Amino acid sequence: MREVTVFVGGSTGSDPYSPKTWSGTAPKLLQALGAENLLDKAVGIRLSKLPNAFLRAKNFARDRGVWRKHFYFDPAYRKALTRAAAAIPVNSPVLMQIGHMFSLPEAFPAHNCVSYHDGNLAELLASGFGMEGVSRRRIDQALAYEKEVANRMAAIFTFSEYLRQSFIQNYGISANKVFNVGGAINLDSIPDPIPGKSHRASRILFIGTEFKRKGGPELLQAFKIVRQSIPSAELHIIGPTQVSDLPPGAFLHGHLSKADPEQCTKLDSLFRDASLFVLPSLYEPYGIAPLEAMLYQLPAVVTNAWALREFVTPGVNGALVEKGSVEDLATKLTQLLSNPDQLASMGRQGREMVLAQYTWPAVARRMAPLLRSLAS
CATH number for the domain including 121?
3.40.50.2000
- Band (pLDDT 50/70/90 cuts) for residue 1 is low
Predicted model pTM: 0.95
Can you tell me the mean pLDDT for 87-94? 97
Helices (H) and strands (E) in the chain, counts: 15, 12
Q: Residue 258 has what pLDDT?
A: 86
Are 207 and 104 in the same domain? no
Q: Is residue 37 part of a domain?
A: yes
CB proximity list for 264: less than 8 A, separation 6 or greater = 256, 257, 258
Per-residue pLDDT tens over the stretch 40-55: 999 999 999 999 999 9
Q: Residue 286 has what pLDDT?
A: 95
Q: Is residue 191 part of a domain?
A: no
Are 334 and 366 in the same domain? no
Q: Residue 290 has what pLDDT?
A: 98
Domain encompassing residue 282: 203-357
Per-residue pLDDT tens over the stretch 232-282: 999 999 999 999 999 999 999 999 988 889 999 999 999 999 999 999 999
Are 253 and 163 in the same domain? no
The whole-angstrom separation of Cα 108 and Cα 87 is 10
The overall average pLDDT reported for the chain is: 96
Per-residue pLDDT tens over the stretch 276-299: 999 999 999 999 999 999 999 999
Can you tell me the mean pLDDT for 79-88? 98
Are 268 and 235 in the same domain? yes
Q: What is the chain's Cα-based Rg? A: 21
Q: 334 φ, ψ to 5°?
A: -65, -45
- Band (pLDDT 50/70/90 cuts) for residue 2 is confident
Are 11 and 56 in the same domain? yes
Can you tell me the mean pLDDT for 347-372? 97
Per-residue pLDDT tens over the stretch 318-339: 999 999 999 999 999 999 999 9
Q: Residue 238 has what pLDDT?
A: 98
| Among 213, 337, 351, CA closest to 285 | 213
Q: By CB neighbour count within 10 A (0-12 exposed, 13-18 middle, 19+ buried), where does 309 fall?
A: middle
